[in-house]
Structure formats: C-alpha cells, structure tokens
Amino acid sequence: MCLAGNVLRMRALLVVNPAATTTSARTRDVLIHALASEMKLEVVTTEYRGHARDLGRRAADSDDMELVVALGGDGTVNEVVNGLLHGGPDPDRLPRLAVVPGGSTNVFARALGLPNDAVEATGAILDALSNRSERTVGLGLAAGTPGTDDESVPARWFTFCAGLGFDAGVVGRVEQQRERGKRSTHALYVRQVVRQFLDEPHRRRGMITLDRPGEKPVKDLVLSIVCNTAPYSYLGNRPLYASPGASFDTALDVLGLSKLSTPAVARYATQLLNSTPDRGPHGRHAVSLHDLTDFTLQSKVPLPFQMDGDHLGLRTSVTFTGVRRALRVIV
C-alpha cells in the first residue's frame, strides 16, 4: 500500500477520543475540517474503552484504507496501534499512522518530533503527507510468560514504555485519582510518586529478576522501566531520559534500580530531572541495558504493571520482545 500521488484521493480514518484532555470540541471540529479538506476522511468518535483498538483492527483489515489518524493521548494511540498490528507487523501492507496529540503528556507524538499543540501537529502532518515524509518505527511487545500464572495474558504492543514495579504503581495511583475526578496534572504525578514511595514494601530489596538469553540474571530490582524511545516521559516541557540510548530504530532499553532508600530516591530523582540525551540515572544501584530483543521480567510477588501509561493490574512475569520496523508513521 502506498501514498497516492494526490493526497486528496487518499482514504483515511480519523479516530477521535472525545475525552482528550487538551482539545475542546471546537478545536476538534477545526482539525477535522482541515484534514477532511485534504483527503477522503472517515471520522469515528470512540465510545468505550477498546473502541480505538477495534477501529484500528478494522482499518488493518480494509483493502483501501491508507492512513489512520489518532486524535487523543497516548492511551488512544496505544489502542489504535494494537488494532493495526492485531495480525502482526507488516509495514508494507498496513495503513500508516499519524498522531494528533490531545492528551496531557503525548509522549509518542513528541518523541516523533511533532509539535505538542494539536493544531500545529495537524499542519505538520499535512505537510508531511504532501512531502511523502514518513519513517518506520520499532515497537515493544509484552506478553505473559509461558509456564507461569500469567501465561494466558494476551500479547500487547507498546509505543514508548512499559514498567513493572514502582513506576507502574505510580501510574495506578494516578488513574485512581483521575477516576475520582482529579485533573491529570504534573503535580498530581509528583504527589503519587511520594505516596508510592512511602507505601512501597520492597524498596530496600527488590523482587524483580531480569532474564536474558545467554546472560546472567539481573536480580533484586525494585523498579524496571522498559523504554522504546527517549525521552521516556515529560514533566511539563521537561523531557525525562530514563534510558537515553533508547530509539525507535533499535530494540528495547531497560533502566533498573535495586534500591529505593530515601537518599537513593533523592539522588535518582534529581538525576532524572536533570537527565539529558547523553546521560540518564546512574550509580551503584542502577542498571542500564541497551538494545534488548528478548528478555523476561519475573517477580517473587505480584507487582503493578503498566504500558504506555496505562495501568494493567498485577503481574508476576512478563516477556518482552523488541520488534524493529513494526509500523510506518507520518512525520
């Protein structure tokens, strides 16, 4: 499947999350009009959790859909990607993906170099389509580990990060607060980090082991962040580099911490806030691994698990695969 010579002939699906936190109904109408003026656009507003995944799947199975545009936050993008890749990665056959950021953080869109403003991003996407500008990105795949209690957990793709342990616990706490009506602000995240630290029962000796083929296990991790790109998140406009070497062009990177005492937390939090594309958290209790294709995170006890900022419950074992060249995106 290829871009038509004239963008106006292109058939595209726009998946709109009406609950996107940073776009108003009026703004969404303006964006829809701008996109519809340049292509044959079908617009669908999501109505339930998983709806964007179903729409992505329908687009993947279509014979003539060339582009899927996700208007929403990272959760919407994750669902669309999982729908598009339901039959496995096939960049030459599947529709391209374009992302209009509408969430509170928009890590995937920003990591691609798109503006964090929805109107500006739409303009950038239209320019990219006109110039036939795209790239093929790698993605992460996580699944339950065979022979464990989690082996029946279905495989799921992620675009920028996943985590087992401390950081996933923070994500879960934030989701609980949002369900109670709290706004998703960066101050909310900081408060939940503090509360997770105070309640963390395993912060002095971790429960997580990382296993890689042909390598010694990395044991006793309290925190494990799996990165598919850098930065892995943002605090306002400040990029946070957990694994500076992570890239859409390689497999997966991992940052692991084996101790979260009060001094260690203060040190690593400061390093993360001051991280750069050249240097992330480091030290005696930090483990950084680059470009891993296959590995497993196993825990002695069930721990929180998150993917792309979506809390997915408790897990004891997750197997990860880094898949290069999984999907084409408009940039």
Per-residue pLDDT tens digits for 29-52: 999 999 999 999 999 999 999 999
Nearest to 285 by CA among 304, 263, 302: 263
Q: Which CATH architecture has domain 140-325?
A: Sandwich (2.60)
Cβ of 229: how many Cβ atoms within 10 Å? 25
Same fold, 7-132 and 140-325: no
Q: Enumerate the H helices of the chain as residue ranges.
A: 25-36, 51-61, 74-84, 107-111, 118-130, 166-179, 186-199, 262-273
Per-residue pLDDT tens digits for 160-218: 999 999 889 988 888 888 788 887 676 787 888 888 888 877 777 789 999 999 999 99
Per-residue pLDDT tens digits for 80-131: 999 999 999 999 999 999 999 998 889 999 999 999 999 999 999 999 999 9
Is residue 260 within 8 Å of 198, Cβ to Cβ?
no
Structure tokens at 112: 């691609």
Highest mean pLDDT among 144-153, 183-192, 220-229: 220-229
- What is the Cα–Cα distance from 17 to 28, expressed in whole angstroms? 10
Cβ of 63: how many Cβ atoms within 10 Å? 6
Q: What is the mean pLDDT of residues 49-61?
A: 97
Spans of all domains in the chain: 7-132, 140-325
Class of domain 7-132: alpha beta
Q: Which of 2-11, 75-84, 220-229, 268-277 has the lowest mean pLDDT?
A: 2-11
Residue 143 forms beta bridges with which residues?
319
pLDDT for the residue 195:
85
- What is the Cα–Cα distance from 116 to 122, expressed in whole angstroms? 10
pLDDT for the residue 189:
77
Structure tokens at 330: 């408009």
Give the orientation angle of helix 118-130 with respect to helix 25-36, to 10 degrees.
10
- What is the Cα–Cα distance from 146 to 136, expressed in whole angstroms? 30
pLDDT at 1 over 70: no
**Residue listed under structure tokens 């993605």:** 139
Per-residue pLDDT tens digits for 170-180: 888 888 887 88
Global pTM?
Answer: 0.92
